[in-house]
Amino acid sequence: MVTARFLLVLGLLLGTGSAWTDASGGSPTPAGFRIGVISERSGAPSHAIAQYGPMLDYLQDALRHTEIAVSELAVAEHLEEMRGWIAAGQIDALFESLIPSLKLEIETARIRPRLLVWRKGQRVYRTLFFTRQDSPIRQLQDLRGRSLAVESARSTSAFFLPKLTLEAWGMHLRPEGSRRSPEDILYSFAGSELNQAYWVERGKADAGAFNDGDWTRTPRTLRKRLRIFHRTPPLLRYLLSFRTDLPASIREPVEAALLAMHKDAAGRGTLTRASRITRIEPFTDADRAQLETWRARLADRPH
Amino acid sequence: MPQTIRGRLALHFTLLITGLMLVMLALTGWLGYGMVNDLRPRLQSIFAETQTLNEKNVLLNSASYLSEHLFPHLYGLDVSALNKEIDLVREWLPIQSFVITDANGRIVTDGSLTNHGYGQPHPLPQEPLPGQPILESHPESSTLSFAVGADNRIAGYAVVALSRAALQTSLHMLDEQVTRQWERASLSLLLGAGLILLLVGGIAAILIWRVAQSLSQPITEMVAAAETCANGSLDIALPVRSNDELGHLARALNTMAKELRVSHRRMRHLANYDVLTGLPNRHLFHDRLRHALHAADRNARQVGLMFLDLDGFKTINDSLGHGLGDEVLKLAASRLRETVRASDTVARLGGDEFTVVAEGVHGIPDLLGLAEKLLAILARPYRIQDHQLQLSASIGITLYPRDGATPDALLHSADSAMYEAKRRGKNAYCVFTPELDLNSQGRLSLERHLEQALETGQLELHYQPQVHMASRRLTGAEALLRWRDADASAQPGELIARLEDASIIARMTAWVLAEGCRALAQWRSQGLPELRLAINLATQQLTHPDLPEIARDALADSGLPADALQIELTENSLLNSTSSRQSIERLQGLGAQLAIDNFGTGYSSVVDLHRLAIDTLKIDRSLIQNIATNEDSGLITAALISLAKQLGIRTAAQGVETQAQWSVLHAQGCDIAQGFLMSKPLPADQLLDWVQIYSRTADQWPKYVLTQPQHFTASSA
């Protein structure tokens, strides 16, 4: 009698508990198709949910003839969290920029980029290194021993790529306050591309690095006081990766729906809302080649 | 202008009140409007001040909050964060511009991405210190400047321009609201005022209408009532609604109508009833008789009609006077009334003639019984003023429809029967038989009787003394015709007036004159040399062509001078008739004196009197009767006497019966008196006796009353 009741209560608790965790956008349930993103604003997953919500609804509508149920967006606060979910097989698809996507692929071996996502009107972008007009810095090598303003830890074009680029040139990038040698380049997170520009202009950092899109969005008043001194080759901007063991019966309809989404105005609207996605398209051969290159590069580096 | 009191009153007062209301409302409205107009700007300024004060406080408090909030971002040069903060602030302050500068006053950000003014110096009004923001107010905007920092560390400054547009808008909105409210209020005030005006006007009109109506309605009613009365219907009853003048008027009108009704009734009564006895008069009698005959026709019954004549009444009237005679009549009437049945009608036809209509009779035997009863009751003695009198009656009985088909025929038959009863000896009744009725004999019988009386010596003359008031001497005697058979005594003129046969008239006149002159001649020779004979003549006699001859003959035969004769004529005899005038002239030509009898009741003119050389005016007894009691009679007689005196005509008074009458007449200057106070009409042989007896006591006149209580038997055979 007592045990039965105890078990019942336990069962209820577990049930409600799982419901609770569901509601907060925690670990996904095995059923349904779950898309994940890493939050641009830390501590505000609801922002991302609001952004992607319409797109998911549209996707679900597009998939209504199938048995696929589009689950709520999974929003991770940082890369590590996402890694854990992917490793657990709870994420079926991931929207993320190139380097974090490849990193996750390498680290978890459970996802793989499959589609290219145009974002903010760009399918590729490049990183620009800039400094003040009157700065002595003329080339990358001149950065030795100086400070670099980067955006945030998860930014590809404004952190990862500059870092990789500098390291490829044999320079070391270390966080602020952790100088080991006089030639170390100290980086500091400015928080936003705008701040990067301001910091450099005001001398809070010797140089900054962000993508070409960010450069166009920098206020002219600032831009005219800044100077680009290095450009990287173009990088695929945004990728959609799928779980590797996702059945094709699920993956293909979803892919088809996503590829078609930009074709009508409603779909375009939802894509725009979901972090300004312009369209989703399959990789070209050149894209794949670039991916391979980057895979190799990233795999070499211990992280 | 309305034609009724109601309308005029209503109009005037309504206009007055409406006018007053308008003035009041206009005044109130004007005052109110002025007040509100004052109020609006004051409201606005107060509001503006309050708003400004609020603003100020809000802004100053905001400054410290913002300073705190902006500091870390400005210090860390997190421009994105600064912009975000500025965006936030925009949501709850009306910001025109928000500029954040560094410690040197150079613009770091203006909140926009383009950031035009970056790096340029931004004018700071002053250098605000931490915790001491500066607020400058301009009409269109305010500027809030504060240091972004804490304690001594100033990361930079912020200059926020706040639009006061909101305030302006608010003020404007407030103004609009107030204006709209005022307009709405003034509109509703106007409407209200209009409604009140209408309401008050309406109520006033209604009230005034009612007041006016309360005035005009009674008046209208009275007008209608007056018209009704004028149209002959006196049956008005005005409602007395109030105790004011109108109420009094209504009451007065009601009283007047009532009095008129009463007097009309009395007149109707008078028209139908005999004044003296209260019995139905001739008019009502005829009506009742007709009605009875119709009823008899319907019910197949018979109606009895009795014609009653009091025997010897004329004698009583002549000897005891009309006052007593009236009393007798009254008594007789009441006896008759009490004796007949309730369904029978007793009526007084005139004089001493009565009729009885007996309805629902079955035959003559019923009537005989009644007649017996009536005779018996009438025969009982009458006690009046110490006199004990006795009368009898002669009754003629007829039956309808046997003895006549119409009321007149029936009456005629009854009359004939009555005469028969008289002829048979009086105190009897006689039932009508056809032999009695000879149509033409109605009047003829009288004439024949007279003729007969004349031939059989049934007629004789009695003489009433005429006394000179000043000297109390006997100056004349009026001759009265006495008919022993019918026991009637009348002025010859009166009797003869009933005759038609001219020859009878002539014979009568001749006899009267001759007899009178004879008696006079005798008296003259027996100690009354100045005595005059007065004879009353009817118009028929006067206009008889032979009259002057008859008179002359009579005078000549008796050897009297013409002035011993005084012809007495009624006023009406003088009227207009040329034959009358001629006769008069001829008589006067003879030398006879002329007197107007019953003067004061006819239609003579003063001019005629004078022209005709009348010698004496004999004032009618009706005027004399009331002379002592009625002021008007006294005035009239005084006037007549005075008039006569002025014209040089003698005055004589007829029917002087009381001492009081004598005194008044004497005081008024009347010359001659005639009446029961002096003497009743006497037989020729008694006149001298009277003269002898009473001339002795002449100086004690008028204390002596002639008529001593006597037992007077009228039915002495």
Whether the predicted pLDDT of B184 surpasses 90: no
A48 plus A191 within the same structural domain: no
- Comparing A261-270, B242-251, B438-447, B456-465, which segment has the lowest mean pLDDT? B438-447
- What pLDDT is recorded for position B575? 66
Q: Pairing mode, if any, of strands B650-654 and B672-674?
A: parallel
A26 within some domain: no
- Comparing A20-24, A77-81, A106-110, B107-111, which segment has the lowest mean pLDDT? A20-24
Whether the predicted pLDDT of B212 surpasses 50: yes
Q: How many CB atoms lie within 10 A of CB B323?
A: 15
Chain B contact residues (CB < 8 Å to A): 77-81, 83, 108, 113-119
Q: What are phi and psi of B477, to 5 degrees?
A: -145, 135
User: Residue A255 and residue A242: Cα distance in Å, rounded?
Assistant: 9
A181 plus A93 within the same structural domain: no
Last residue in a domain, options A198, A215, A232: A232
User: Residue B443 and residue A227: Cα distance in Å, rounded?
Assistant: 177
A133 plus A112 within the same structural domain: no
Residues of A in contact with B116 (CB under 8 A): 221
Nearest to A192 among B80, B114, B117 (CB): B80
Q: Which long-range contacts (CB under 8 A, 24 or more apart) does A293-302 make?
A: A294/A98, A294/A99, A294/A102, A295/A102, A295/A105, A295/A106, A297/A164, A298/A99, A298/A102, A298/A103, A298/A106, A299/A106, A301/A164, A301/A167
User: Residue B343 and residue B356: Cα distance in Å, rounded?
Assistant: 11
Q: Check B118 against A204: CB less than 8 A apart.
A: no
Whether the predicted pLDDT of A288 surpasses 90: yes
Residues of B in contact with A224 (CB under 8 A): none
Contacts of B92 (CB under 8 A, 6+ apart): none
A112 plus A248 within the same structural domain: yes
Nearest to A219 among B78, B81, B113 (CB): B113
Residues of B in contact with A158 (CB under 8 A): none
A132 plus A226 within the same structural domain: yes
- What pLDDT is recorded for position A12? 58
**Shortest Cα–Cα distance, A133 to chain B (Å):** 15
User: Residue B507 and residue A216: Cα distance in Å, rounded?
Assistant: 178
A109 plus A140 within the same structural domain: no
Query: What integer best gives the mean pLDDT of chain B?
Result: 82
Please tell us whether the domain made up of B451-713 is placed in CATH 3.20.20.450. Answer: yes
The structural domain count of chain A equals 2
Q: What are phi and psi of A202, to 5 degrees?
A: -90, -10
Q: Check B78 against A222: CB less than 8 A apart.
A: no
A117 plus A250 within the same structural domain: yes
Closest Cα in chain B to A202: B77
Q: Check A217 against B113: CB less than 8 A apart.
A: yes
- What pLDDT is recorded for position B439? 47
Residue % of chain B over a pLDDT of 70: 91
pLDDT band for position A13 (50/70/90)? low
Residue B220 is given by DSSP the state H
Q: Check B118 against A222: CB less than 8 A apart.
A: yes
- What pLDDT is recorded for position B715? 27
Contacts of B456 (CB under 8 A, 6+ apart): none
- What pLDDT is recorded for position A43? 66
**Shortest Cα–Cα distance, A185 to chain B (Å):** 20
pLDDT band for position A25 (50/70/90)? very low
Sequence ranges of the domains in chain B: 5-169, 282-439, 451-713
Higher pLDDT, residue B490 or B18 = B18
pLDDT tens per residue across span B612-625:
788 899 988 888 88
Q: Check A217 against B119: CB less than 8 A apart.
A: no
- Among residues B194, B716, B168, the alpha carbon closest in space to that of B485 is found at B716
Q: Check A191 against B115: CB less than 8 A apart.
A: no
Last residue in a domain, options A232, A259, A289: A232
A116 plus A241 within the same structural domain: yes
A18 within some domain: no
pLDDT tens per residue across span B34-73:
887 888 788 878 877 887 788 788 778 888 888 888 899 9
Whether the predicted pLDDT of A87 surpasses 50: yes
- What pLDDT is recorded for position B334? 92
Closest Cα in chain A to B82: A195
CATH number of the CATH domain containing A252:
3.40.190.10
> What is the CATH architecture of B5-169?
2-Layer Sandwich (3.30)
Q: pTM for this one?
A: 0.44
**Shortest Cα–Cα distance, A216 to chain B (Å):** 11
Residues of B in contact with A194 (CB under 8 A): 79-80, 83, 113
Structure tokens at B555: 């005078």
- What pLDDT is recorded for position B698? 56
Is residue B302 within 8 Å of residue B400, measured between CB atoms?
yes
Nearest to B80 among A191, A220, A225 (CB): A191
- Among residues B516, B499, B610, B500, the alpha carbon closest in space to that of B560 is found at B516
Q: Check A221 against B114: CB less than 8 A apart.
A: yes
pLDDT band for position A9 (50/70/90)? low
Residues of B in contact with A195 (CB under 8 A): 77-80
Interface test with B, best of A198, A202, A223 (most B CBs within 10 A): A198
ipTM value for the complex: 0.72
Q: Check A220 against B119: CB less than 8 A apart.
A: no
- Among residues B611, B685, B186, the alpha carbon closest in space to that of B461 is found at B685
The Cα-based distances of B24 to B18, B19, B35, B290 in angstroms read 10, 9, 17, 81
The Cα-based distances of B566 to B438, B472, B517, B569, B642 in angstroms read 40, 20, 11, 10, 22
- What pLDDT is recorded for position B489? 59
Is residue B612 within 8 Å of residue B595, measured between CB atoms?
no
A3 within some domain: no
Residues of A in contact with B117 (CB under 8 A): 221
Contacts of B564 (CB under 8 A, 6+ apart): B517, B520, B524, B531, B532, B533, B555
- What pLDDT is recorded for position B712? 27
A12 within some domain: no
Task: Determine the distance from the C-alpha atom of residue B588 to the mean position of all C-alpha atoms in its chain, rounded to a whole number.
Answer: 53
Q: Which helix (H) or strand (E) holds B537?
A: none
A228 plus A245 within the same structural domain: no
Half-sphere exposure of A210 (CA within 13 A, CB side): 26
A5 within some domain: no
Nearest to B77 among A202, A219, A221 (CB): A202
A10 within some domain: no
- What pLDDT is recorded for position B257? 87
Whether the predicted pLDDT of B714 surpasses 70: no
**Shortest Cα–Cα distance, A46 to chain B (Å):** 18
Closest Cα in chain B to A199: B77
- Residue A200: domain span: 127-232
Mapped onto helix, strand or coil, the DSSP state of residue B152 is coil
Q: Please, what's the b/e burial string for A65-85 (b: 16 or more CB within 10 A of its CB; e: otherwise)?
A: eeebebbbbbbbeebeebbeb
**Shortest Cα–Cα distance, B114 to chain A (Å):** 5
Higher pLDDT, residue B470 or B574 = B470
Higher pLDDT, residue B314 or A122 = A122
To 5 degrees, how large is the angle CA A149–CA A155–CA A157? 75
Last residue in a domain, options A179, A206, A232: A232
A13 within some domain: no
Q: Check B113 against A204: CB less than 8 A apart.
A: no
A19 within some domain: no
Please tell us whether the domain made up of B282-439 is placed in CATH 3.30.70.270. Answer: yes
